[in-house]
Amino acid sequence: MAITLNNGFKMPIIGLGVWRMEKKDVRDLIINAINIGYRHFDCAADYHNEAEVGEALAEAFQSGLVKREDLFITTKLWNSDHGHVLEACKDSLKKLRLDYLDLYLIHFPVATRHTGVGTTDSALGEDGVLDIDTTISLETTWHAMEELVSMGLVRSIGISNYDIFLTRDCLAYSKIKPAVNQIETHPYFQRDSLVRFIQKHSICVTAHTPLGGSVANTEWFGSVSCLDDPVLKGLAEKYKKTVAQIVLRWGIQRETVIIPKTSKLERLKENFEIFNFELTKEDMELIRTIDRKYRTNQPAKLWGVDLFA
Protein backbone atom coordinates (compact mmCIF):
# COMPACT_ATOMS: atom_id res chain seq x y z
CA MET A 1 0.00 0.00 0.00
CA ALA A 2 1.44 3.33 -1.06
CA ILE A 3 0.65 7.04 -1.28
CA THR A 4 1.29 8.87 -4.54
CA LEU A 5 3.34 12.00 -3.92
CA ASN A 6 2.64 15.31 -5.67
CA ASN A 7 5.41 14.58 -8.20
CA GLY A 8 4.02 11.17 -9.15
CA PHE A 9 6.42 8.97 -7.19
CA LYS A 10 4.89 6.39 -4.86
CA MET A 11 5.83 6.19 -1.17
CA PRO A 12 5.01 3.01 0.82
CA ILE A 13 2.58 3.91 3.58
CA ILE A 14 4.58 2.07 6.21
CA GLY A 15 8.32 2.19 6.68
CA LEU A 16 10.93 1.31 9.24
CA GLY A 17 12.50 4.21 11.11
CA VAL A 18 16.12 3.62 12.11
CA TRP A 19 16.46 6.32 14.79
CA ARG A 20 18.35 4.97 17.82
CA MET A 21 18.95 1.69 16.04
CA GLU A 22 22.20 0.23 17.38
CA LYS A 23 24.86 -0.17 14.69
CA LYS A 24 25.39 -3.83 15.55
CA ASP A 25 21.68 -4.54 15.04
CA VAL A 26 21.17 -2.68 11.77
CA ARG A 27 22.10 -5.44 9.34
CA ASP A 28 19.74 -8.08 10.72
CA LEU A 29 16.88 -5.62 11.18
CA ILE A 30 17.11 -4.30 7.62
CA ILE A 31 17.35 -7.78 6.09
CA ASN A 32 14.54 -9.13 8.29
CA ALA A 33 12.37 -6.12 7.46
CA ILE A 34 12.82 -6.67 3.73
CA ASN A 35 11.91 -10.34 4.16
CA ILE A 36 8.77 -9.35 6.06
CA GLY A 37 7.74 -6.96 3.29
CA TYR A 38 9.06 -3.52 4.26
CA ARG A 39 10.11 -1.47 1.25
CA HIS A 40 10.53 1.92 2.91
CA PHE A 41 13.38 2.90 5.25
CA ASP A 42 13.62 6.24 7.03
CA CYS A 43 17.16 7.36 7.84
CA ALA A 44 18.94 10.56 8.83
CA ALA A 45 22.52 11.78 8.98
CA ASP A 46 21.90 12.56 12.65
CA TYR A 47 21.10 8.93 13.44
CA HIS A 48 24.79 8.06 12.96
CA ASN A 49 24.06 4.71 11.31
CA GLU A 50 23.78 5.53 7.61
CA ALA A 51 26.94 3.52 6.87
CA GLU A 52 25.52 0.43 8.57
CA VAL A 53 22.22 0.83 6.73
CA GLY A 54 24.21 1.16 3.51
CA GLU A 55 26.05 -2.09 4.18
CA ALA A 56 22.77 -3.92 4.76
CA LEU A 57 21.20 -2.45 1.62
CA ALA A 58 24.24 -3.40 -0.46
CA GLU A 59 23.98 -6.97 0.81
CA ALA A 60 20.27 -7.07 -0.02
CA PHE A 61 20.91 -5.84 -3.57
CA GLN A 62 23.91 -8.08 -4.22
CA SER A 63 22.14 -11.20 -2.97
CA GLY A 64 19.11 -10.53 -5.14
CA LEU A 65 16.83 -10.21 -2.12
CA VAL A 66 15.46 -6.97 -3.52
CA LYS A 67 16.20 -4.48 -6.30
CA ARG A 68 17.11 -0.85 -5.66
CA GLU A 69 14.05 0.37 -7.55
CA ASP A 70 11.80 -1.63 -5.21
CA LEU A 71 12.91 0.35 -2.14
CA PHE A 72 12.07 3.85 -0.96
CA ILE A 73 14.98 5.36 0.97
CA THR A 74 14.70 8.61 2.92
CA THR A 75 17.42 10.49 4.72
CA LYS A 76 17.71 13.99 6.13
CA LEU A 77 19.83 17.13 6.10
CA TRP A 78 21.05 18.00 9.58
CA ASN A 79 20.80 21.49 11.10
CA SER A 80 24.53 22.17 10.97
CA ASP A 81 24.70 21.48 7.20
CA HIS A 82 22.16 24.00 5.90
CA GLY A 83 24.94 25.92 4.20
CA HIS A 84 26.43 22.73 2.75
CA VAL A 85 23.43 20.94 1.25
CA LEU A 86 25.15 19.36 -1.75
CA GLU A 87 28.11 18.11 0.28
CA ALA A 88 25.84 16.73 3.00
CA CYS A 89 23.65 14.91 0.47
CA LYS A 90 26.69 13.37 -1.24
CA ASP A 91 28.05 12.31 2.15
CA SER A 92 24.78 10.52 2.97
CA LEU A 93 24.67 8.88 -0.47
CA LYS A 94 28.23 7.61 -0.01
CA LYS A 95 27.43 6.15 3.41
CA LEU A 96 24.19 4.60 2.18
CA ARG A 97 25.96 3.27 -0.95
CA LEU A 98 23.27 4.70 -3.19
CA ASP A 99 23.27 6.63 -6.46
CA TYR A 100 20.11 8.54 -5.57
CA LEU A 101 17.70 9.13 -2.69
CA ASP A 102 13.97 8.67 -3.02
CA LEU A 103 13.40 11.46 -0.50
CA TYR A 104 15.66 14.04 1.16
CA LEU A 105 14.22 16.09 4.01
CA ILE A 106 15.28 19.19 5.91
CA HIS A 107 15.39 17.58 9.36
CA PHE A 108 14.49 20.67 11.41
CA PRO A 109 13.60 24.20 10.29
CA VAL A 110 16.72 25.74 11.84
CA ALA A 111 20.29 26.28 10.71
CA THR A 112 22.98 25.92 13.36
CA ARG A 113 26.72 26.49 13.49
CA HIS A 114 28.48 24.31 10.94
CA THR A 115 30.67 21.67 12.55
CA GLY A 116 31.83 19.78 9.46
CA VAL A 117 29.79 17.81 6.92
CA GLY A 118 28.53 14.58 8.39
CA THR A 119 29.39 15.40 12.00
CA THR A 120 25.79 16.42 12.80
CA ASP A 121 26.77 18.10 16.04
CA SER A 122 24.26 20.24 17.91
CA ALA A 123 26.76 22.92 18.88
CA LEU A 124 25.87 24.90 21.98
CA GLY A 125 27.02 28.41 22.77
CA GLU A 126 28.71 29.48 25.98
CA ASP A 127 25.25 29.96 27.49
CA GLY A 128 24.40 26.29 26.90
CA VAL A 129 21.87 27.19 24.21
CA LEU A 130 21.84 25.86 20.64
CA ASP A 131 24.10 28.05 18.47
CA ILE A 132 21.65 29.12 15.75
CA ASP A 133 23.09 30.48 12.50
CA THR A 134 21.13 33.61 11.56
CA THR A 135 22.89 34.07 8.19
CA ILE A 136 21.18 31.17 6.37
CA SER A 137 17.48 31.38 5.57
CA LEU A 138 15.20 28.40 5.12
CA GLU A 139 14.47 29.70 1.63
CA THR A 140 18.17 29.51 0.75
CA THR A 141 18.33 25.96 2.08
CA TRP A 142 15.24 24.96 0.12
CA HIS A 143 16.60 26.25 -3.17
CA ALA A 144 19.77 24.22 -2.53
CA MET A 145 17.54 21.18 -1.99
CA GLU A 146 15.85 21.88 -5.34
CA GLU A 147 19.24 21.78 -7.05
CA LEU A 148 19.66 18.19 -5.84
CA VAL A 149 16.59 17.21 -7.85
CA SER A 150 17.96 18.94 -10.94
CA MET A 151 21.23 17.02 -10.50
CA GLY A 152 19.44 13.66 -10.25
CA LEU A 153 20.76 12.97 -6.76
CA VAL A 154 17.29 13.08 -5.20
CA ARG A 155 13.88 12.20 -6.61
CA SER A 156 11.74 14.00 -4.04
CA ILE A 157 12.48 16.68 -1.46
CA GLY A 158 10.57 17.62 1.63
CA ILE A 159 10.51 19.21 5.03
CA SER A 160 10.30 17.93 8.57
CA ASN A 161 9.01 19.43 11.82
CA TYR A 162 7.54 22.44 9.97
CA ASP A 163 4.40 24.04 11.40
CA ILE A 164 1.62 25.67 9.35
CA PHE A 165 3.42 29.01 9.02
CA LEU A 166 6.73 27.53 7.89
CA THR A 167 4.98 25.14 5.52
CA ARG A 168 3.04 28.07 4.02
CA ASP A 169 6.27 30.01 3.53
CA CYS A 170 7.92 27.02 1.84
CA LEU A 171 4.99 26.76 -0.56
CA ALA A 172 5.35 30.46 -1.36
CA TYR A 173 9.04 30.43 -2.26
CA SER A 174 9.44 26.93 -3.66
CA LYS A 175 9.97 26.17 -7.33
CA ILE A 176 9.63 22.47 -6.50
CA LYS A 177 6.89 21.99 -3.93
CA PRO A 178 7.73 19.86 -0.89
CA ALA A 179 6.49 16.32 -1.42
CA VAL A 180 6.42 15.46 2.29
CA ASN A 181 6.27 17.11 5.69
CA GLN A 182 7.41 14.66 8.36
CA ILE A 183 5.99 15.61 11.76
CA GLU A 184 5.36 14.09 15.17
CA THR A 185 1.76 12.95 15.30
CA HIS A 186 0.07 10.16 17.29
CA PRO A 187 -3.14 9.78 19.33
CA TYR A 188 -1.80 12.04 22.13
CA PHE A 189 -0.56 14.67 19.63
CA GLN A 190 -3.00 14.54 16.74
CA ARG A 191 -2.41 18.01 15.28
CA ASP A 192 -5.48 17.83 13.08
CA SER A 193 -5.21 21.45 11.89
CA LEU A 194 -1.63 20.96 10.75
CA VAL A 195 -2.34 17.58 9.15
CA ARG A 196 -5.34 18.96 7.26
CA PHE A 197 -3.40 22.02 6.09
CA ILE A 198 -0.51 19.93 4.79
CA GLN A 199 -2.78 17.46 3.00
CA LYS A 200 -4.95 20.26 1.57
CA HIS A 201 -1.89 21.49 -0.28
CA SER A 202 -1.10 18.04 -1.70
CA ILE A 203 1.83 17.41 0.62
CA CYS A 204 2.11 13.96 2.17
CA VAL A 205 2.23 13.78 5.96
CA THR A 206 4.70 11.29 7.38
CA ALA A 207 4.18 10.55 11.06
CA HIS A 208 7.44 10.18 12.92
CA THR A 209 6.96 8.94 16.47
CA PRO A 210 3.67 7.31 15.33
CA LEU A 211 3.47 5.24 18.52
CA GLY A 212 4.03 8.24 20.77
CA GLY A 213 7.70 7.56 21.31
CA SER A 214 7.23 4.59 23.60
CA VAL A 215 10.47 3.48 25.29
CA ALA A 216 12.80 5.70 23.24
CA ASN A 217 11.24 9.03 24.19
CA THR A 218 10.51 7.90 27.73
CA GLU A 219 14.23 7.26 28.20
CA TRP A 220 15.44 10.45 26.53
CA PHE A 221 12.74 12.96 27.40
CA GLY A 222 10.75 11.42 30.27
CA SER A 223 7.58 11.53 28.17
CA VAL A 224 4.45 9.39 28.49
CA SER A 225 3.38 6.95 25.76
CA CYS A 226 -0.16 6.61 24.47
CA LEU A 227 0.26 2.83 24.38
CA ASP A 228 -0.90 2.65 28.00
CA ASP A 229 -4.13 4.55 27.31
CA PRO A 230 -7.26 2.65 28.45
CA VAL A 231 -9.26 3.70 25.37
CA LEU A 232 -6.65 2.23 23.07
CA LYS A 233 -6.35 -0.88 25.21
CA GLY A 234 -10.11 -1.34 24.93
CA LEU A 235 -9.96 -1.08 21.15
CA ALA A 236 -7.11 -3.58 21.06
CA GLU A 237 -9.34 -6.08 22.89
CA LYS A 238 -12.26 -5.33 20.56
CA TYR A 239 -10.26 -5.94 17.38
CA LYS A 240 -8.05 -8.65 18.87
CA LYS A 241 -4.96 -6.66 17.99
CA THR A 242 -2.15 -5.10 19.98
CA VAL A 243 -2.39 -1.48 21.08
CA ALA A 244 0.47 -0.63 18.72
CA GLN A 245 -1.43 -2.13 15.79
CA ILE A 246 -4.50 -0.05 16.66
CA VAL A 247 -2.42 3.13 16.77
CA LEU A 248 -0.64 2.37 13.50
CA ARG A 249 -3.91 1.47 11.77
CA TRP A 250 -5.34 4.80 12.98
CA GLY A 251 -2.35 6.49 11.39
CA ILE A 252 -2.79 5.01 7.95
CA GLN A 253 -6.56 5.62 8.02
CA ARG A 254 -5.69 9.30 8.45
CA GLU A 255 -3.77 8.89 5.17
CA THR A 256 -0.48 9.54 6.89
CA VAL A 257 2.66 7.53 6.17
CA ILE A 258 3.95 5.85 9.34
CA ILE A 259 7.53 4.94 10.19
CA PRO A 260 7.54 3.05 13.51
CA LYS A 261 10.93 2.21 14.95
CA THR A 262 11.71 -1.09 16.61
CA SER A 263 14.77 -3.20 17.33
CA LYS A 264 12.84 -6.42 17.99
CA LEU A 265 11.93 -8.95 15.29
CA GLU A 266 8.52 -9.76 16.78
CA ARG A 267 7.62 -6.05 16.84
CA LEU A 268 8.87 -5.68 13.28
CA LYS A 269 6.36 -8.32 12.18
CA GLU A 270 3.59 -6.99 14.41
CA ASN A 271 3.89 -3.43 13.12
CA PHE A 272 3.51 -4.64 9.53
CA GLU A 273 0.37 -6.68 10.21
CA ILE A 274 -2.11 -3.82 10.05
CA PHE A 275 -3.70 -4.32 6.64
CA ASN A 276 -6.17 -7.09 7.54
CA PHE A 277 -8.56 -4.97 9.59
CA GLU A 278 -10.12 -1.50 9.59
CA LEU A 279 -11.20 0.80 12.40
CA THR A 280 -14.80 1.93 12.17
CA LYS A 281 -15.65 5.61 11.78
CA GLU A 282 -16.97 5.58 15.34
CA ASP A 283 -13.71 4.19 16.68
CA MET A 284 -11.70 6.73 14.71
CA GLU A 285 -13.81 9.41 16.39
CA LEU A 286 -13.28 7.77 19.78
CA ILE A 287 -9.51 8.01 19.33
CA ARG A 288 -9.93 11.68 18.44
CA THR A 289 -11.23 12.30 21.97
CA ILE A 290 -7.99 11.25 23.68
CA ASP A 291 -5.82 13.93 22.08
CA ARG A 292 -3.70 15.60 24.78
CA LYS A 293 -1.79 17.98 22.48
CA TYR A 294 1.23 16.31 24.01
CA ARG A 295 4.60 16.38 22.24
CA THR A 296 6.85 13.48 23.27
CA ASN A 297 9.92 14.30 21.16
CA GLN A 298 11.40 17.24 23.04
CA PRO A 299 14.83 18.28 21.74
CA ALA A 300 14.62 21.43 23.86
CA LYS A 301 15.89 19.31 26.72
CA LEU A 302 19.12 18.79 24.73
CA TRP A 303 19.37 22.17 23.01
CA GLY A 304 18.53 24.59 25.81
CA VAL A 305 15.89 26.29 23.65
CA ASP A 306 12.35 25.27 22.70
CA LEU A 307 12.07 25.74 18.95
CA PHE A 308 8.41 24.75 19.06
CA ALA A 309 7.26 27.14 21.80
Contact 49, 74 (CB under 8 A): no
CA dist 169 and 174 (Å) reads: 8
Catalytic residue among 38, 47, 162, 188: 47
Hey, what amino acid is at 226?
Answer: C
Secondary structure (DSSP) of 206-255: EEESTTTTHHHHHHHH-PPPGGG-HHHHHHHHHHTS-HHHHHHHHHHHTT
**Sequence-separated (6 or more) residues with CB below 8 Å from residue 58:** 97
Does residue 104 carry a catalytic annotation? no
Distance CA 150, CA 255 (A): 29
Q: At what angle do helices 164-173 and 138-150 cross, to 10 degrees?
A: 50
Q: Is 82 annotated as a binding residue?
A: no
- Coil/strand/helix, residue 91: helix
Binding-site residue numbers are 107
- Residues labelled as active-site residues: 47
Binding-site residue numbers for substrate are 107
